[in-house]
Amino acid sequence: MQLDEIVAAVRAAHESHSPLRLRAAGSKDFYGGLLAGEVLDLSGHWGIVAYEPTELYVTAKCGTPLSEIEAELAEEGQMLAFEPPHFAGATLGGAIAAGLSGPRRQQAGAVRDFVLGIKLVDGTGQVLDFGGQVMKNVAGYDVSRFIAGSLGTLGVIAEATLKVLPRPVAETTLEFACDEAEAVRRLNEWGGQPLPVSASFWFEGRLWLRLSGAEAAVAAACRKLGGKVSPGAAAWWQAVREQTHAAYAGPTLWRLALPSTTPPLALDGLRAIEWGGGLRWYVTEAEPAVVRAAATAAGGHAVLYRAPESLRCLEGAFAPLSPALLALHRRLKKAFDPRGILNPGRLYAEF
Amino acid sequence: MNPPEPSFATDRAKLLRRLQLILPAHCLLSAEEDLRPYECDGLTAYRELPLAVCLPETEGQVIDVLRNCHQMGVPVVARGAGTGLSGGAMPHAEGVVLSLARFNKILRVDRAARLAVVQPGVRNLAVSEAAAPFGLYYAPDPSSQIACTLGGNVAENSGGVHCLKYGLTVHNVLRLRVVSIEGEVFEIGGEGPDAPGYDLLALLIGSEGMLGVVTEVTVKLVPKPELAQVVMASFADVAQAGDAVAAIIAAGIILAGLEMMDKAATAAVEPFVKAGYDLKAAAILLCESDGTPEEVAEEIARVTAVLTEAGAGEVRVSRTEAERLRFWAGRKAAFPAVGRITPDYYCMDGTIPRKRLAEMLSAIAEMEHKYGLRCANVFHAGDGNLHPLIMYDAAKPGEWRWAEAFGAEILELSVALGGSITGEHGVGIEKINQMCVQFSTPELDAFRRVKAAFDENGLLNPGKAVPSLHRCAEYGRMHVHQGDLKFPELERF
Ligand SMILES: Cc1cc2nc3c(=O)[nH]c(=O)nc-3n(C[C@H](O)[C@H](O)[C@H](O)COP(=O)(O)OP(=O)(O)OC[C@H]3O[C@@H](n4cnc5c(N)ncnc54)[C@H](O)[C@@H]3O)c2cc1C
């Protein structure tokens, strides 16, 4: 599939005012608002365009599977440090559009922190190049990072350049027994110290801490922290990243993004804590308004992450925006997709 | 989609009457001698007197000023410390300057959550100073950090010598409070991760005061590393030094700082600073490692091996904190040192892919012959940000023209080599024409539509950062005149 074909499809949809649903592997069909529009299958726009290990970037077309990119990076001892989940065959474009990061986010940063450049086909079929392949570039608004997490509502990410990083030389996982409150306290305490913590996960009274970095740094941190070394950790973190771990199972899964120091919420159904306390997963049938209010009161927000369609058609995925912010979102949507044909309703029902 | 550049004609008397109603007398300047200090930022070549300067003390006053300017169609230029190097805070002749200088309070330093909430007029270094008792600091460290403000840092997406490892402003800001030109308040981002909706932080950071006025900034604080050490390596050939940079990265090492200076730069610096640089070397590299003592020892050993393998002549590791600071002192004094050996110099701010460094440097060497001017090069080698310092004498007829043409060729080449016209100083008024080289019409149109989504009538900082179509004609430049430097006490990177 060539760029021309994407452009032609978007142009035609723009002209006929017909909604398009951007899709490649469909690994995140469950995420965001309900799906609408005719599928524009992007999985055929595929391939690594450029990979330069010493320049720390990789450029690939949107339909390229993450697994292919990561295999290529691994040969040079590098990685996508934000550890995006693959689910079933996730592609580069979808990973950026969804903006989901994995366990290493607490140390390395989110998807958007690694976006250096994007080739975007906007809602009129124009091809726009933002950013580039260099690390520092402050010319113009930073549209490439802005596109990350926009769930395909602003344009087709036809190609993207990501910053890559070397894999850590050493990695060890420690395990501790503690309750929720104690886990939150410890995670924040460790976060304030120069320790090479690259991931954390609390589940059913146990806390796992992954340390990554130089051999000596990891060894020193292990001595300092105590705990017990957890064997087979790589596969286990993989299950957290891919959400195949039991913690994520359940009919209605809520993802609460909170200030990391938030004490235990008065909300039943906590399953897991990640990202140093900043991310908490709940499986609950509580009223959505109750869940959202608990997150908001703590200074965070709740995402209805995975839920039966019967609930998803009543309740949007993301926390409602203030009227002023909603109006701004609409204007920005219009700036890139004046006829509202790209993934309508996927982010918010209003646009 | 491309409205012509708006022109403004403000009724000054009416504007002042309105401003007097909303601001106490000590918060409003309108006499010419009071306006003078605001006529330019750190790029003194471009000057303009505003109609008035507002120095609000509360967010309510900011809202009132913006609302009134919006109603009257008056341009507003926000201002922090005025250390910008691209004319971003240069006033508009028909507008007001909205100085955030009095928003200088640190509202909260949260040790447990590792964040600080500050007003936009707080100086960059003050944040790290306030966090220091907790063993924390704010990572982005522009060399103007004793003077520049968080509001300015946000507007420019400022960097520092440690951005390769610790990121730019955009990687270290969690939340912003922003007032729109219509006087509406937005909170964007948040203390928790991944705020709902579009990533407006990404748009606002680096938007050069064009989209909104920032009234509160929440930043991430990070634990201070236990130790830092510097390796200094000399190379007989600049291409070899460039290859060594690539080899370090290929070895999987992300240093806290990775800087290069060429022979012209070390020759200018050494008599001035006595950093102990190898003056015979064609280029030197400064490589900083930080972390736990174990980590630093391991990294220093690995870097030293890579440098030696890459053909470094002399390799020296700082043994004490004093020696580490001395190694850096030369690099930090590079601009003023060059200023001592030439009547004038002209500083560029392009970014290129690291692998094109040798190519760029040999092209610059050829340009030195072509234009008959010398050039010293200092380089944030780790992230490809080059600051060539073109030496000339403004008193000699025509020499500035040559320097200008020389600089233009470097910037043109930065874009041609796959880089950018600006790595950290911003577009402002200075590089507005060069935006037309880096971007084509569809992208510039998209920028204009983004601007209109925030500020339909184009009242916030008009004429900056994004050129109108008919502006796309020639290049702009930054001229640093020796006697003309604002903030001469600051280090120049
Ligand atoms: C000696 C020297 C060294 C420097 N070194 C570096 C360096 O190492 N790295 C680097 O990146 N830069 C460097 N700079 C450039 C400059 O210091 C930075 O761009 C800095 O962030 C500007 O901050 P300021 O407070 O002075 O902003 P100003 O110059 O006052 O304003 C800069 C821009 O920000 C806008 N602005 C200011 N406050 C607000 C607000 N509250 N809301 C919205 N917009 C606002 C203004 O309109 C303007 O467009 C250096 C400058 C000097 C003079």
CA distance B38 to A290: 51
Does the pLDDT value for residue B6 go beyond 90?
A: no
3-state secondary structure A299-312: CCEEEEEECCHHHH
A186 and A152 belong to one structural domain: no
Looking at residue B5, its pLDDT comes to 57
DSSP structural state of residue A322? P
- DSSP three-state, residue B75: coil
Name the band, by pLDDT with cuts 50, 70 and 90, for residue B475: very low
Q: Which residue of chain A has the CA closest to B464?
A: A140
Does A316 map to a domain? no
pLDDT in tens, A11-51: 999 999 999 999 999 999 999 999 999 999 999 999 999 99
**In this structure, are A146 and A181 located in the same domain?**
no
Q: How many folded domains does chain A comprise?
A: 2
- Residue B192 contacts A, CB cutoff 8 Å: yes
Residues A173 and A230 sit within 8 Å (Cβ to Cβ): yes
Tell me what pLDDT residue B473 has: 52
Predicted pLDDT at B484: 40
In this predicted structure, what is the pLDDT of residue A198? Answer: 97
For the cut 70, the answer to whether the pLDDT of residue B183 exceeds it is: yes
Which of B59, B83, B170 maximizes ligand 1 atoms within 8 Å of its Cβ, making it the mutation to test the pocket? Answer: B83
Tally Cβ neighbours within 10 Å of residue A289: 9
pLDDT of residue B486: 43
Query: Which residues in chain B touch residue A113, judged by CB atoms under 8 angstroms apart?
Result: 167, 170-171
pLDDT tens digits for range B312-336:
999 999 999 999 999 988 888 888 8
In a domain, A344, yes or no: no
Contact B63, B26 (CB under 8 A): no
Q: Same structural domain for residues A181 and A287?
A: yes
Q: What is the mean pLDDT of residues B124-139?
A: 97
Q: A133 and A234 in one domain?
A: no
In terms of domains, do A118 and A77 share one?
yes
Strand ranges of the sheet holding B76-79, from the earlier edge strand across to the other edge: B28-29, B52-54, B96-99, B76-79
Say whether pLDDT at B487 is over 50: no
pLDDT digits (tens, 9 = 90+) for B205-241: 999 999 999 999 999 999 999 999 999 999 999 889 9
d(CA B347, CA B401): 14
- Is pLDDT at B485 greater than 70 in this prediction? no
Model confidence at B124: pLDDT above 50? yes
- Least Cα separation, residue A187 to chain B (angstroms): 10
B2 CB near a chain A CB, below 8 Å?
Answer: no
> Is residue A153 located within the same domain as residue A207?
no
**Within-domain flag for A312:** no
- The tokens describing B250, both together, are 């290929």
Residue B337: is its pLDDT beyond 70? yes
Residue A342 lies in a domain: no
> Between vectors from CA B115 to CA B113 and to CA B120, what angle results, nearest 5°?
155
Stretch A193-212: mean pLDDT, rounded? 97
pTM score: 0.94
Mean pLDDT of chain B: 91
Range of the domain at A258: 170-249+252-306
Q: Tens digit of pLDDT for each residue in A246-299?
A: 999 999 999 999 999 999 999 999 999 999 999 999 999 999 999 999 999 999
Indicate if A137 and A197 belong to the same structural domain: no
B46, pLDDT greater than 90: no
CA distances from B42 to B47, B183, B484 (A): 10, 29, 10
Contact B198 A166 (CB under 8 A): no
pLDDT, one tens digit per residue, over A51-79 is 999 999 999 999 999 999 999 999 999 99
Q: Write out pLDDT tens, residues B370-387.
A: 999 999 999 999 989 999
Domains of chain B: 12-99 (3.30.43.10), 107-223 (3.30.465.10), 227-323 (3.30.70.3450), 342-475 (3.30.70.2740)
Among A70, A115, A110, smallest CA distance to A90 is for A70
Query: Do A115 and A257 belong together in one domain?
Result: no
Whether the Cβ atoms of residue B174 and residue B200 lie closer than 8 Å to each other = no
Complex ipTM value: 0.97
pLDDT grade for B481, boundaries at 50, 70 and 90: very low
User: Tell me, what's the pLDDT at A23?
Assistant: 98
Neighbours of A92 (CB within 10 A): 28
Per-residue pLDDT tens for B52-76? 999 999 999 999 999 999 999 999 9
Looking at the fold, whether A175 and A107 belong to one and the same domain comes out as no
Residue A318 domain flag: no
Which carries the bigger pLDDT value, residue B473 or residue B284? B284
Beta carbons of B153 and B140 less than 8 angstroms apart: yes
Are both A115 and A217 inside the same structural domain? no
Decide if A315 is inside a domain: no
Do residues A161 and A20 both lie within one domain? yes
Amino acid at B286: L
Whether residue A195 sits in one domain with residue A156: no
Q: Closest ligand 1 atom, CA of B212?
A: 43
Residue B103 has pLDDT above 60, yes or no: yes
CATH of the domain at A50: 3.30.465.10
Quote the percentage of chain A above a pLDDT of 90: 98
Q: B24 — phi, psi (to 5°)?
A: -65, 155
Give domain status of residue A343, yes or no.
Answer: no
Asked if the structure places residue A346 within a domain, the reply is no
Chain B residues 99-158 within an 8 A CB cutoff of chain A: 110-114, 134-136, 156-157
Please report residues of B whose CB lies closer than 8 A to that of A136: 159, 163, 168, 351, 380, 383-385, 420, 423-424
Average pLDDT of span B265-270: 94
* Nearest-neighbour CA in chain B from A298: distance (Å): 9
The pair of three-digit structure tokens given for residue B353, joined into one six-digit string:
């892919």
As given in the structure block, the two tokens for residue B23 are: 């601001």
CA distance A129 to chain B (A): 7
